[in-house]
């Protein structure tokens, strides 16, 4: 089963969920706001794609962090701590496929997966 992680009001997450549904791909949605960020899953994503990919440094949530916190994110451990404390700093959606982890939504890339 495919698991899509994100926040329900995120436009990219909405597009991704719609795309999966329209293509008949069964999936489960994990809401960071209601269910939190599963630490073991976050560790898996960091190992699979790297903290630089998972951490969204372009979003509003990142920009709202104080300068000291942003400056301290120099490695996976620091990024992990910020993402656990502020789930909205995770780039969305994160998708756990049968044999891969992807971050973000690109329909062309997802076509090849299904």
Q: Are 5 and 95 a contacting pair, CB within 8 Å?
A: yes
The per-residue pLDDT for range 17-47, each reduced to its tens digit, is 999 999 999 999 999 999 999 999 999 999 9
Give residue 114's pLDDT: 85
Supply the residues annotated as catalytic: 10
Residue 16 has, within 13 A of its CA and on its CB side, a CA count of 28
Give residue 86's pLDDT: 95
Domain ranges of the chain: 2-113
Q: Are 111 and 16 a contacting pair, CB within 8 Å?
A: no
Q: Give CATH superfamily name and number for 2-113.
A: Glutaredoxin (3.40.30.10)
DSSP character for 24? T
Residues of the chain above pLDDT 70, percent? 100
- The model carries a pTM of 0.93
Mean pLDDT computed over every residue of the chain: 96
* C-alpha torsion sign, points 31, 35, 38, 42: positive
């Amino acid at each position: 089963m495919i698991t899509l992680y994100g926040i329900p009001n995120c436009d990219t997450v909405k597009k991704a969920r719609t795309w999966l549904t329209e293509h008949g791909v069964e999936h489960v949605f994990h809401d960071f706001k209601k269910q939190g960020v599963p630490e073991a899953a976050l560790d898996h994503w960091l190992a699979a794609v790297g903290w630089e990919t998972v951490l969204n440094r372009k979003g509003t949530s990142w920009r709202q962090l104080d300068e000291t916190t942003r400056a301290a994110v120099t490695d996976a451990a620091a990024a992990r701590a910020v993402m656990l404390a502020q789930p909205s700093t995770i780039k969305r959606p994160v998708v756990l496929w049968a044999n891969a982890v992807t971050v973000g939504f690109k329909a062309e890339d997802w076509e090849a997966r299904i």
